[in-house]
Chains A and B, each alone.
Chain A
Amino acid sequence: MDIVLENIKRYPLVVFSIIVVLICLVFNFMRGDVIATLEQQESDLYSRVRVIEKNRINANGLKAELEQLKERVSSIDERLFDPNKSALNANFFYALEEQVDVLIVRVNQVSNEDPVLGKGGPNELKQYGALTYNLVIEGAFVDLIGFMYELHVAKPLIRVADFQIIEGAQSAIPGALKANIRLLVLAQKQ
């Protein structure tokens, strides 16, 4: 004990240094992971800043584009068939007789959904529905093509899926061809 006290008296600077080192070690033990925590926090914040910056760049001009898109979508919505207005929908096809010289013999709405556009189909529609119609029309070949063109450019969105054109079928119009057409019309989602 005397030797220790003697050495303490003899080397006060050493004793002081040892105390300082011990304080530093305790300090290090208490605050050793503070840098790692702060670096992690900083890294997270920088990631967030990068995301915000990316969002800002992506949103450049987005408002104008969204306006345009909304206009187009609303113009599409105006062109949709209403599935609850069967008579009005069928009348649309009969009204085409006035534009093209064809005789519309039959318009049948098919109750089953189209397998391609329906649920589980490869082109399943999520936002809209599709109505399927079977049409039987008669007319000259040129008029049949004209009728299909009118369907293509009509206000409602229509696509001819199948057609069969047959010559020699009994018809009210002499020499006319008969066409069976299966067409799909974009409609409001039911």
Chain B
Amino acid sequence: MVNRNSKDAHPNWRPNFCDASQLPDIKVVRTNFLINFVFVTAALIFIYFALEREYRAYTLGQAITNTEQEIESAARADGGSLKLSNEFKDASLQVVDIERFFAAPLKAHELLVEFVKLCPEGLTIKHLGFLESFNKAAPAGSKVKYSMNLSGEVDDPLILGDFKSAIEASGLLEVDGLSPKIDESLQGRNTLTGIFPYRMSILLVSQDKAANNKAKGG
């Protein structure tokens, strides 16, 4: 039994002598132009993008050339500016050193004058010292400490309290973010003269630290 669907089942019994190129085109809807249209459009799109990129490259090249010329013409002046700037920087290092040298919260003569003005009647100072000390182990920013120590005699213990209050109220020692922490002590009264020897120490601490201590104290 021969399969009817098989190609070899029924070979052409009559050869086809039609010449397709010579036959007339009898298509109702013409499609050749569509193929041309698609390919030509694709080619035009590619050409457009290629030209667009080249134009952009050209304009960028122009802009770069102009900018390079601009830089070239400004380079000399810029070199001068940089040289000036470096000279200024070097010179300003010396001024910075001067600031460092004078970096202290108090001037000795001013401190003495203001301090003596605060002295109440009935209080004498026999020893007055101001000390700048350096603590290498302290945290940065508080390595340098300033302290004062006084000793002398006072007629009445209340006067010493007044003196302490006067120092605190004056704001004399509240400079550069520092605040005075004052400790005073009375020694035994001299029975012959009736006066009280005293000692007072003032430590200048940073105001943040002083505020913390106050808060802890009460």
Interface residue tally on A, bucketed by range: 35 or more
B143 at interface, CB cutoff 8 A: yes
- Taking CB atoms, residues of chain A closer than 8 Å to B35 are 11, 14
- Taking CB atoms, residues of chain B closer than 8 Å to A18 are 39, 43
Q: Which residue of A lies closest to B93 (CB)?
A: A127
**A121, B94: Cβ atoms under 8 Å?**
no
22 pairs, A vs B, C-beta closer than 8 Å: A10-B32, A13-B36, A14-B36, A14-B39, A17-B42, A38-B60, A45-B68, A46-B67, A49-B67, A52-B74, A52-B78, A59-B85, A62-B81, A63-B84, A66-B91, A69-B92, A73-B94, A115-B136, A123-B144, A163-B108, A164-B127, A184-B101
B130 at interface, CB cutoff 8 A: yes
B126 at interface, CB cutoff 8 A: yes
B63 at interface, CB cutoff 8 A: yes
Across the interface, B128 reaches (CB within 8 A) one of A13, A58, A164, namely: A164
Q: A73-B91, A116-B144, A166-B126 are in contact. Are A55 and B40 (CB under 8 A)?
A: no
- Taking CB atoms, residues of chain B closer than 8 Å to A110 are none
Q: How far is the CB of B183 from chain A (nearest CB, A)?
A: 19
Q: Which residue of A lies closest to B142 (CB)?
A: A122
Known: A56-B77, A127-B94. 11 other contacts (CB 8 A): A31-B57, A35-B56, A38-B60, A45-B67, A49-B70, A66-B91, A70-B91, A121-B143, A127-B93, A128-B101, A160-B109
B113 at interface, CB cutoff 8 A: yes
**A76, B53: Cβ atoms under 8 Å?**
no
- Taking CB atoms, residues of chain A closer than 8 Å to B143 are 116, 121-122
**B42, A11: Cβ atoms under 8 Å?**
no
B175 at interface, CB cutoff 8 A: no
Q: Which residue of B lies closest to A18 (CB)?
A: B39
Instruction: Name the interface residues of A1-32: CB closer than 8 Å to any CB of B.
Output: 6, 10-11, 13-14, 16-18, 20-21, 24-25, 27-28, 31
Q: Which residue of B lies closest to A161 (CB)?
A: B132
**A160, B108: Cβ atoms under 8 Å?**
yes
Q: How far is the CB of B44 from chain A (nearest CB, A)?
A: 8
**B40, A13: Cβ atoms under 8 Å?**
yes
Chain A residues packing against B (C-beta within 8 Å): 6, 10-11, 13-14, 16-18, 20-21, 24-25, 27-28, 31, 34-35, 38-39, 41-42, 45-46, 48-49, 52, 55-56, 58-59, 62-63, 65-66, 69-70, 72-73, 76, 115-117, 121-128, 130, 141, 144-146, 148-149, 152, 157, 159-168, 181, 184, 186
Most buried by B among A11, A157, A167, A181: A167
Closest 7 A-B residue pairs measured CB to CB? A59-B81, A17-B43, A24-B46, A17-B39, A160-B108, A123-B100, A148-B109
Give Cα A62 to B47, complex, Å.
55
Q: How far is the CB of A124 from chain B (nearest CB, A)?
A: 7
- The A interface, classified by DSSP as helix, strand, loop or mixed, is helix
Give Cα A70 to B130, complex, Å.
36
Q: How far is the CB of A113 from chain B (nearest CB, A)?
A: 11
Q: Which residue of B lies closest to A165 (CB)?
A: B128
Q: Which residue of B lies closest to A168 (CB)?
A: B126
B98 at interface, CB cutoff 8 A: yes
- Taking CB atoms, residues of chain A closer than 8 Å to B8 are none
Give Cα A14 to B31, complex, Å.
13
**A58, B131: Cβ atoms under 8 Å?**
no
B211 at interface, CB cutoff 8 A: no
Instruction: Name the interface residues of B147-184: CB closer than 8 Å to any CB of A.
Output: none
Most buried by A among B88, B97, B104, B127: B97
**A116, B81: Cβ atoms under 8 Å?**
no
- Taking CB atoms, residues of chain A closer than 8 Å to B75 are 52
